[in-house]
Amino acid sequence: MRSNPRRWLLRFLGVIVFFIILAFVYYKYPSEKGQVNAESTSKQLENPVISVAVATSRQGDMPIYLSGLGTVTALKTVTVHSRVDGELIRVAFKEGQLVHEGDLLAEIDPRPFQVQLKQAEGQLRRDQALLKNAIIDLGRYKTLLEQDSIAAQQTATQKALVEQYEGTVEMDQGLVDNARLQLTYAHITAPVTGRIGLRLVDQGNIVHASDVNGLLVITQTQPITVVFILPEDAVQPVIKRRHNERSISVEAFDRAGNNKLASGKVSAIDNQIDPTTGTLKLKAQFDNEDGVLFANQFVNIKMHLDTLHSVILAANAAIQRGAHGAFVQVVKDDETVTVRPVKTGAVDGETVAVLEGLSAGEKLVVDGADKLREGSRVKIVRQDNIPLTPSIDIKPESKKYPDS
> How buried is 362 (Cβ within 10 angstroms: 0-12 exposed, 13-18 middle, 19+ buried)?
buried
What local confidence, expressed as pLDDT, does residue 24 receive?
A: 66
Q: What value does the mean pLDDT take over residues 324-350? A: 85
Instruction: Using the predicted structure, report yes or no on whether residue 217 has a pLDDT greater than 70.
Output: yes
Cα(305)–Cα(312) distance, integer angstroms:
19
Rounded average pLDDT over 374-394: 67
CATH class of the region 50-63+308-394: mainly beta
Mean per-residue pLDDT, 241-259? 86
Query: Does residue 31 surpass a pLDDT of 80?
Result: no
What's the 3-state SS for the chain? CCCCHHHHHHHHHHHHHHHHHHHHHHHHHHHHHHHHHHHHHHHHHHCCEEEEEEEECEEEEEEEEEEEEEEEEECCEEEECCCCCEEEEEECCCCCCEECCCCEEEEECCHHHHHHHHHHHHHHHHHHHHHHHHHHHHHHHHHHHHCCCCCHHHHHHHHHHHHHHHHHHHHHHHHHHHHHHHHHHCEEECCCCEEECCCCCCCCCEECCCCCCCCEEEECCCCEEEEEEEEHHHHHHHHHHHHHCCCCEEEEECCCCCCEEEEEEEEEEEEEEECCCCEEEEEEEECCCCCCCCCCCEEEEEEEEEEEEEEEEEEHHHCEEECCEEEEEEECCCCEEEEEECEEEEECCCEEEEEECCCCCCEEEEECHHHCCCCCEEEEEEEECCCCCCCEEECCCCCCCCCC
Q: What does the pLDDT look like over 269-309, one tens digit per residue? A: 999 999 999 999 999 999 998 889 999 999 999 988 888 88
For domain 67-75+220-307, give the CATH number. 2.40.30.170
Contact status, residue 68 vs residue 394, Cβ threshold 8 Å: no
Q: What mean pLDDT comes out for the span 14-39? A: 60
State the pLDDT confidence band at 193, using cuts at 50, 70 and 90.
very high
| Mean pLDDT, the chain, whole residue set | 84
For residue 50, pLDDT over 70 is answered with: yes
CATH number of 110-185: 1.10.287
Q: Which residue has better confidence, 8 or 214?
A: 214
pLDDT tens digit sequence for 58-103: 888 888 888 899 999 999 999 999 999 999 999 999 999 999 999 9
Distance, in Å, from the CA atom of 42 to the CA atom of 40, rounded to the nearest integer, reads 5
Q: Determine the Cα–Cα distance for residues 56 and 359; give it in Å rounded to an integer.
A: 10
Domain ranges in the chain are 50-63+308-394, 67-75+220-307, 77-102+194-219, 110-185
Please check whether the two domains, 67-75+220-307 and 110-185, share a CATH topology.
no
pLDDT at 29: 53
Can you give 215-252 as a three-state secondary structure string?
Answer: CEEEECCCCEEEEEEEEHHHHHHHHHHHHHCCCCEEEE
Measure the CA–CA gap between 121 and 172, rounded to whole angstroms: 8
> Would you call 304 exposed, middle or buried from its count of C-beta atoms within 10 A (0-12, 13-18, 19+)?
middle
Bigger pLDDT: 107 vs 317: 107
pLDDT band at residue 150 using 50, 70 and 90 as cut-offs = confident
| Separation between Cα atoms, residue 102 and residue 92, nearest integer Å | 13
State what percent of residues in the chain have pLDDT above 70: 86
pLDDT on residue 28: 57
